[in-house]
A and B are shown apart, each in its own frame.
Chain A
Amino acid sequence: MTETSNAIVRFVDVQKSYDGESLVVKKFNLDMEKGEFLTMLGPSGSGKTTCLMMLAGFEPATHGEIYLNDQPINNVPPHKRGIGMVFQNYALFPHMTVAENLAFPLEVRKMSKSEVEQRVQRALDMVQLGEFSSRRPAQLSGGQQQRVAVARALVFDPDVVLMDEPLGALDKNLREQMQYEIKHIHERLGVTVLYVTHDQSEALTMSNRIAVFDDGVVQQLAPPTVLYEEPENAFVANFIGENNVIGGKITRIDGQSCQVDVGESREVQALAVNIGGVGESTTLSLRPERVSLDPGDDCPNVFEGKVEELIYLGDHIRTRMHVCGHDGFIVKIPNSSSHAQLHEGAVVKVGWTMEDCRALDVLN
C-alpha cells in the first residue's frame, strides 16, 4: 500500500457480512479528499449505510481496513474517532434543550465552560437558531431540528461529518432549502462530508463526487456531471436521471464507435463505452433530452417515431414514442416558442448523435 495519499478517509478492500453467508459490502475501496463532499447514492439495501456505519464505528468491518488521517481505525471505538454524524431521525436528545444538545459533545471533551458557551453560540448562529437555544427539540419544527442536528455534528470541529439520509423526513420544499443550506455550510467550513442518500437530485445538488452503490459494489465514482453524462454502465445510466434503454447486438466495432443491431435490421451508431466483442449483447443508453426531432442529414442515427402519448409538464413536453420497436421511448421537447406541434399518432423523424448514445453492458 502506498501511504503517501492525502486522503482523509480511505476504505481499503472493505467487506461486510452480517450473517456469514452473503456479503452486504463486497469490495469497497474509496479515497476521500480533505474538504470533499462525497455522496453514497444507491437503492435501499445496496450497502451504503453499512459503509457509513463502519466508518462511524458502529459496525465492525468483516474484512479490510479503514483509515482516518492515515491511521487505521478498525479497533478505535466510535467515541474516539472524532467523526460527527447526523442521523436519519436527527437523534437529538429529547431531555436536553437545544443549547444542551450542542454543548454535549464539548462537555464530554471536558472543555472549559466559557469555551463551551462560545462554541455553542457560534454553532447556533451558523444555523440561525440563536433564539431557540432554550427550547426542547420537540418544540422545534422538522427543519429546525435538522439544523440543530447539523450544528451538533459540527460543533466540535470534527475532521469528517457523516450524514445518513438526513433530509428523508422533511417535505419537498424544505428538503430543497436544506440541501442548499448544508451545501453552503460545507463550502464555508471546508469540512469533509460523507453523505448517504437514495435521492439522486439531492446527490447531484450537493456533491463534489458521487459513489453509486448497487448490490454491495460501487458502480461508478465520479463528479455529478460525469455521472450523468458519461455513465460507465447500464445501472448508473438508469439510476441517475431518465434514460432510454435499447437492447441490441454488436455488429461492428470501429475504434471509439460501434454499430449495434437493434432488431428489424436497424443499425444504430453508438459510442463504445463498456462492451464485449462483436456478436455480443449490449444496452444502448440515450438521454431523452438528447433526442432531436427532424434532425439534419448529417445525423448518423435517424429513425421514424410514432407519437403514442403527450404529457404537458410546463417547461417541457414529455413525448412517449414508438421507436425501433420500443414503445417506451421518451423524448423531451423543450417548451420554446418554436417547438414542434405534435399530436398523438403522428409519425416524425427522430435522431441523435453517435456520442450521445452510449453502448453499455447488459442490464440484468
Chain B
Amino acid sequence: MSATVESVAPEQMVTADGTPLKVSLARARRRARNRALLLVAPLFLFIFITFFIPIFSMLFRSVENELVGDTLHRTVPLLQNWDESGDTIPGEEVFAALQQDFAEAQKTKSAGRPGRRLNYEKPGFSSLFRKTARKAQKLEPPYREAFIKISKDWGDVEYWRVLKRESGKYTKSYYLSALDFSYDSEGNVVKNPGKESIYIKLFWRTLWMSMLITVLCLVLAYPISYLLSTLPARTSNLLLILVLLPFWTSLLVRTSAWIAILQQEGVINDFLVFLGFLSDDGRLAMIHNQVGTIVAMVHVLLPFMVLPLYSVMKTIPPSYLRAARSLGANPFTAFVRVYVPNTVAGIGAGGILVFIIAIGYYITPALVGGQSGTLISNLIAYHLETSLNWGLAAALGAILLGGVLALYLLYDKIVGIDNMKLG
C-alpha cells in the first residue's frame, strides 16, 4: 500500500489521508455499484434461469447431433476410414461393429430415435433401424450379408453416405433444410426445387407482411396519436383508454370477433350484398387468408404503435408548428418539415416494436391465416408440436432471431437506437 502511495506522481490528486483520489473514487463507487447489483440480482437470476438457458438450449438443438454417434458408438469411428465418394459400401468390420451397436440399442430400446433423426435426411431410415434392431441380436457372421438380408437398404451406398454425414457431434442439415437446401444422392448441397422450397417463401412472406402491418399501424396510429396529444387531458385520457381497451380483452375473443365480421357470411359481406355492391355468390374472402391475418394483426398491434408515438408527440410544444407557420410555411410544409422530424423517435420505437412482435406472431395467423396467411412462426410451431423435428424448429427460430437482430442493427445504423423513445 505504501509503495503505491509513494509511486504517486506529484501532480496526481490525493484525498486528505493521502490515498490517490482515483482509488478513493473507485472504492466509493464500487460500494454503490455492489448495492445496485444486489437489487437487480433476483431479476437477473430469474431471467437467466427461465429465459436465457431455455432459449440457448433450444437454439443449440439446431446444430446438436449427438444421437446417432452415441447410439452407434462403435460403428461411427470406423466409418471415418470409409471413402464415401466411392460406390462401395463399407467392409465387414464396420458391419460387425454395427451388429454390436444394434444389439446394444435393442437392449436399451434406443434404436428408434436415431432412426427418426436420420429419417429427416432420408426417408426409410426409421423403419430400417427398427427392423434391424429387432433382428440384430440373432445375426451371425458374415454380418455384411446378414444385414443386407434384413434389408437391401444396407447394401445401398446412399444410406451409408447419409449415416456417415450425420454421425458427427454437430450438423448443419437443419439449417440447410430451413433455408430450402438439401443433399443430393452424391452428398452435394443443392437447392430444393421450387415446389419443395417452402421456408424461404414463408420467411419472405413473414417479412413483407410484418412490414406491411408495421406501415399500416403507423398510418393508422399517427393521426390518432396526434389527436390524443393535442386534445385536453380529460378527453385524451378517455380516448387513450379506448385505445388500450383491446389490451384488456382476450386475444381469442378479439380474433373470433374478426372472424364474425370478415367471414363470407359475416357482417361486412352481408352489408355489401344488402347494398347491392356484391352478388350473393360473389362474397369476398376476407378471412383465413392474408387479408384476414393483416387486418387482425394490425388491430392487435395498433396500441404498440400508438403509445410510443403519443408519448413523443405529447412532448412537442405546439409553438413549434406555430413558429413554422409564422415563418411562412404552409400547414403541410410545417407539418412535414417541423412536426414529423420531431416524432422520429416515436416512429422508430413504435415501428421496431410492432415489427418485431409481428415477425414472430403466432396465434392470430394460426386462427385466421388459413393457407396463404400463415407465417414462419406457425411452421415453427408445427415442427415443435406435430412433426417433432425440434432441430429444424430451432434452426428456423434461430434464423428468425438472426434476421430480427440484423434489422435491429440496420435500424441502429440508419436511425440510431439512442433516438428511440418507448415511453
**Which A residues are closer than 8 A to B by beta carbons?**
56-58, 77-85, 87-89, 91-95, 104-105, 108-109, 152-153, 156, 162
B386 at the interface (CB under 8 A from A): no
Residue in contact with A105 in the complex, picked from B317, B328, B331, B341, CB distance below 8 Å: B328
A77 to B326, CA, bound (A): 9
B26 at the interface (CB under 8 A from A): no
Among residues of A, the one whose C-beta sits closest to the C-beta of B344 is A95
Distance of A17 from chain B, by nearest CB (Å): 18
Give me 12 other A-B pairs in contact (C-beta within 8 A), A88-B319, A105-B327 excluded: A57-B325, A79-B327, A85-B323, A85-B327, A87-B319, A89-B319, A92-B323, A93-B323, A94-B342, A104-B337, A108-B337, A153-B326
| Between-chain CB contacts (< 8 Å), 29 pairs | A56-B322, A56-B326, A57-B326, A58-B322, A78-B326, A79-B325, A79-B329, A79-B331, A79-B334, A84-B326, A84-B327, A87-B319, A89-B319, A91-B319, A91-B320, A93-B320, A93-B338, A93-B342, A94-B342, A95-B344, A104-B327, A104-B329, A105-B327, A105-B328, A108-B329, A108-B330, A108-B333, A108-B337, A153-B327
Let me know if A91 and B322 touch, CB within 8 A.
Answer: yes
Let me know if A95 and B328 touch, CB within 8 A.
Answer: no
Among residues of A, the one whose C-beta sits closest to the C-beta of B325 is A78
B324 at the interface (CB under 8 A from A): yes
Let me know if A79 and B326 touch, CB within 8 A.
Answer: yes
Distance of B199 from chain A, by nearest CB (Å): 42
Let me know if B322 and A87 touch, CB within 8 A.
Answer: yes
Distance of A120 from chain B, by nearest CB (Å): 13
Let me know if A95 and B341 touch, CB within 8 A.
Answer: yes
Interface centre among A79, A84, A109, A162 (most CB of B within 10 A): A79
A58 to B320, CA, bound (A): 13
User: Residues of A contacting B322 with CB < 8 Å?
Assistant: 56, 58, 78, 85, 87, 91
A94 to B337, CA, bound (A): 12
A91 to B328, CA, bound (A): 15
Among residues of A, the one whose C-beta sits closest to the C-beta of B320 is A91
A87 to B325, CA, bound (A): 12
On whether A152 and B327 interact (CB within 8 A), knowing A58-B322, A93-B320, A108-B333, the answer reads yes
User: Residues of A contacting B327 with CB < 8 Å?
Assistant: 79, 84-85, 104-105, 108, 152-153, 156
User: Residues of A contacting B334 with CB < 8 Å?
Assistant: 79
User: Residues of A contacting B329 with CB < 8 Å?
Assistant: 79, 104-105, 108
A223 to B228, CA, bound (A): 46
B284-323 interface (Cβ within 8 A of A): 317, 319-320, 322-323
User: Residues of A contacting B338 with CB < 8 Å?
Assistant: 93
On whether A108 and B328 interact (CB within 8 A), knowing A89-B317, A95-B341, the answer reads yes
From DSSP, what is the main secondary structure of chain B's interface residues?
helix
A108 to B331, CA, bound (A): 11
User: Residues of B contacting A108 with CB < 8 Å?
Assistant: 327-330, 333, 337
Distance of A1 from chain B, by nearest CB (Å): 27
A84 to B324, CA, bound (A): 10
Chain B interface residue number, banded:
20 to 34
A95 to B322, CA, bound (A): 16
A109 to B327, CA, bound (A): 9
B329-366 interface (Cβ within 8 A of A): 329-331, 333-334, 337-338, 341-342, 344
Let me know if B341 and A82 touch, CB within 8 A.
Answer: no
User: Residues of B contacting A91 with CB < 8 Å?
Assistant: 317, 319-320, 322-323
On whether A156 and B328 interact (CB within 8 A), knowing A93-B338, A95-B342, A104-B337, the answer reads yes
A57 to B365, CA, bound (A): 51
B64-84 interface (Cβ within 8 A of A): none
A89 to B317, CA, bound (A): 9
Interface centre among A57, A87, A92, A162 (most CB of B within 10 A): A87
Distance of B395 from chain A, by nearest CB (Å): 43
Distance of B415 from chain A, by nearest CB (Å): 13
User: Residues of B contacting A104 with CB < 8 Å?
Assistant: 324, 327, 329, 337
Distance of B190 from chain A, by nearest CB (Å): 51
User: Residues of B contacting A92 with CB < 8 Å?
Assistant: 323
A82 to B326, CA, bound (A): 7
A80 to B331, CA, bound (A): 11
User: Residues of A contacting B333 with CB < 8 Å?
Assistant: 108
Among residues of B, the one whose C-beta sits closest to the C-beta of A58 is B322
Distance of A218 from chain B, by nearest CB (Å): 24
A92 to B334, CA, bound (A): 13
Distance of A235 from chain B, by nearest CB (Å): 30
User: Residues of A contacting B337 with CB < 8 Å?
Assistant: 104, 108
User: Residues of A contacting B341 with CB < 8 Å?
Assistant: 93, 95
Distance of A68 from chain B, by nearest CB (Å): 13
A81 to B325, CA, bound (A): 10
User: Residues of A contacting B330 with CB < 8 Å?
Assistant: 77, 79, 108
User: Residues of A contacting B325 with CB < 8 Å?
Assistant: 57-58, 77-79
Distance of A56 from chain B, by nearest CB (Å): 6
Distance of B56 from chain A, by nearest CB (Å): 41
A87 to B321, CA, bound (A): 11
Q: List 9 A-B pairs, minimum CB-CB distance, nearest first.
A: A105-B327, A91-B323, A91-B319, A85-B326, A78-B325, A95-B341, A108-B329, A87-B319, A108-B328
Interface centre among B327, B329, B331 (most CB of A within 10 A): B327
A117 to B350, CA, bound (A): 37
A105 to B326, CA, bound (A): 9
Among residues of A, the one whose C-beta sits closest to the C-beta of B330 is A79
Among residues of A, the one whose C-beta sits closest to the C-beta of B337 is A104
A85 to B322, CA, bound (A): 9
Distance of A83 from chain B, by nearest CB (Å): 6
A109 to B328, CA, bound (A): 7
A79 to B323, CA, bound (A): 10
Interface centre among B328, B330, B338 (most CB of A within 10 A): B328
A95 to B336, CA, bound (A): 13
Distance of A330 from chain B, by nearest CB (Å): 40
User: Residues of A contacting B319 with CB < 8 Å?
Assistant: 87-89, 91
Distance of A156 from chain B, by nearest CB (Å): 7
On whether A87 and B328 interact (CB within 8 A), knowing A93-B338, A95-B341, A95-B342, the answer reads no
User: Residues of B contacting A80 with CB < 8 Å?
Assistant: 328
A108 to B338, CA, bound (A): 12
A91 to B342, CA, bound (A): 13
Q: Beta-carbon contacts of B14-34 to A below 8 Å, as 1s and 0s?
A: 000000000000000000000
A294 to B330, CA, bound (A): 67
A271 to B341, CA, bound (A): 62
User: Residues of B contacting A79 with CB < 8 Å?
Assistant: 325-331, 334
User: Residues of A contacting B331 with CB < 8 Å?
Assistant: 77, 79
Distance of B25 from chain A, by nearest CB (Å): 28
A310 to B337, CA, bound (A): 60
Distance of B404 from chain A, by nearest CB (Å): 28
Among residues of B, the one whose C-beta sits closest to the C-beta of A161 is B326
B247-290 interface (Cβ within 8 A of A): none
